[in-house]
Structure 1
Amino acid sequence: MSEAVTQVEDIEIRLLLDALVQRYHYDFRQYAFASLRRRLRAARAALGFASYGAMQDALLHDETVLPRLLGYLTVQVSEMFRDPEYFRAIRESVVPHLRTYPSLKVWVAGCSTGEELYSLVILFREEGLENRTLFYATDINPEALRMARDGVYALDRIRGFTENHRRSGGRWSLSEYYSAAYGRAVFAQSLRERVVFSDHSLVSDAVFGEMNLISCRNVMIYFDRTLQDRAVGLFRDSLARRGFLGLGSRESLRFSAHAGAFRAFAADERIYQKCEA
C-alpha cells in the first residue's frame, strides 16, 4: 500500500473514530493507532464494507453495526489465571495484607468476557476473603459484559484454565466451580453474588469508589502514552492508601507521569502498591 493511500486511509479512520464518539460516546481516538488500523481493516473486510466512509455511514444510521464493530475494536483475548505467577503473587504476597481489612473492594478494569474476574473471585474464595469483598467488573463492550455475567466458556478451554489454576497455587480442583454440559462449562452463580458488572470507560469516566486492589491487565498496551497516563491517574485516585495495582506482563509504570505515586511491590509480576503520601 502506497504512502498516499495509507495517508487517505488514516484520515478516513480518524473521521470514523470522530463519528463513533459523537454518535455513541465511545472514544478510541487515543488508542495506539497502528493497532487500531489493523483491527479496523479486519472489521471492514469481515463486515463487508467497501470503504471506511461506507462503514461510517452505516454506523451513523444503523445501531446494529455498533456491537459488531466493538467486537473488533475491543480486544477479547483472555483466559482464567492467565500468567499464573501473577495470581500466585496475589495469593502469597498481596492477600496477607488484604486480610487485615474488615471489608474489601476489588476492581477488574477491562474485564472482557470475565476470565480474570472469575480467577480473582475463586482465589478470594480459596483464601477466605470472598465474603468480605465486593468485586467490580467493568468494560466498554456490552456484549463482553453479557458474556462475563453468563460465565459460560467452551469446554475445550477448561484444560488450560485448570492447569493455570494449579500453577497459581489453587487449593482445590477448578471443577469445584463449574458444571459441564453440551460442550460448555457454566461457572457457578455463587461466584457472581458479590460482583457488580458495569460499563466504564478508562478514556472518559471518573473514579467510582475506593479500591483495595485494581487489576487491569493487557489493556493499557492498546493505549497511547497520554491515555495510559490518564488511566494510571484514575487508578491512583481510585486506590485506598497502600492499595494494590496489577498490570499485564508487558505493561509498566516506568514511564508514567504518576509513577511516583506507586512503589514496585512484586516487580516481576507487575504488581504495584500505592504509596502512603
Structure 2
Amino acid sequence: MAYLELNNIQKSYGTGAQELQVLKNINLEINEGEFVAIVGFSGSGKTTLVNLISGLQKESSGALRFKGKPINGTSHERGIIFQNYSLLPWLTVYQNVWIAVKETFPKKKKKELDEVVRYYLDMVSLTPAINKRPKELSGGMKQRVAVARTLAMDPEMIIMDEPLGALDALTRGNLQDEILKIWEKNKRTALLITNDVDEGIYMADRIIPLLPGPKATLGPEFKIDIPRPRDKTALNDNPEFKRIRNEIIEFLMQIGNENTNQSNNSYTLPDVEPKDLRWDFQSKLKLSY
C-alpha cells in the first residue's frame, strides 16, 4: 500500500456555467520514505494540490488517502511549509515555533520543548533573532522561522509548497541540505512543490511535472538515479544529472509552447457602436430635476 494515494482527483471552483476545473485526473502514489518533487508552471494548480493533500481543502471527486485512510482535515502527521510565512505577528520567533511544538507534543516537559525549539532555530541560523517579532525580520528570515516550525513538529510527511523561493542562494542551499539530512536520518516521506528543476533533481527520488491549467494533470515521471548523498558541486559534471535536467526542461518547454499556441486563438468581435456618454450624463441631469 502506498503511503500517500491520489486516485482520479478532480478539483473545481464555482458551479454551473461559472465552474472552473483546476485539477483533473490527478493520480499519484508516494511510498513511505520516498522524496518526490512536482515541478510546474505558475498558476497550474500546485498550491491547490498541496491544500488537498494537507487537508485544507476537499477534493471535488476522487479518492485521497494517507496511510490507507481518507484525508479529512489537517493533521500533525502531515507538516506543511507554505510559500507565505503564516507567522503570528504578536509572538516572537521563539514563541512562533514553541506554540506549534507545544500543540504537537502536549505531554513533553517544558525543558524538552525548549530544547526542540532552540535546536531547530539554530539549524536555520536564527538563534540571534530568537526574541524578535516578525515585523523585525526580513522575508528570508520569516521563511526560515516557518521552516523551523514545521520541522520541529517532527511530521511523518513533510509537504513543501515552494518554501525556499524567497531565500538568498546561500540560505536556500543550506536549508536544502538540512531538510535532506532530516529526511535521510528519519526517512520521512517528503513532497516538494517547486519551479526549480535543479532543486528537484538535487533533492528528490522522482520528479513529476504538473501540466498547465486549467484542468491541470500530472505528466510523466522522471526517476532520479543519482546516488545519495549528492554533492551540489559534483552534480554539474554528472552526466546523469545533465541528461535528466535536459529531458525535463525540454519537456516543460514543449508543453509551454503547446499551451501558448492553444491560447493564441483569434476571436471575431461583435459589431457595436460606442455609447454616447455625454447624452447619458445630460439625461440623468434632467431626470434629477
Please give the TM-score of this superposition, normalised by the length of structure 1. Answer: 0.30
Higher relative contact order (CA 8 A, sep 6+): 2
Higher helix share: 1
Bigger Rg over Cα: 2
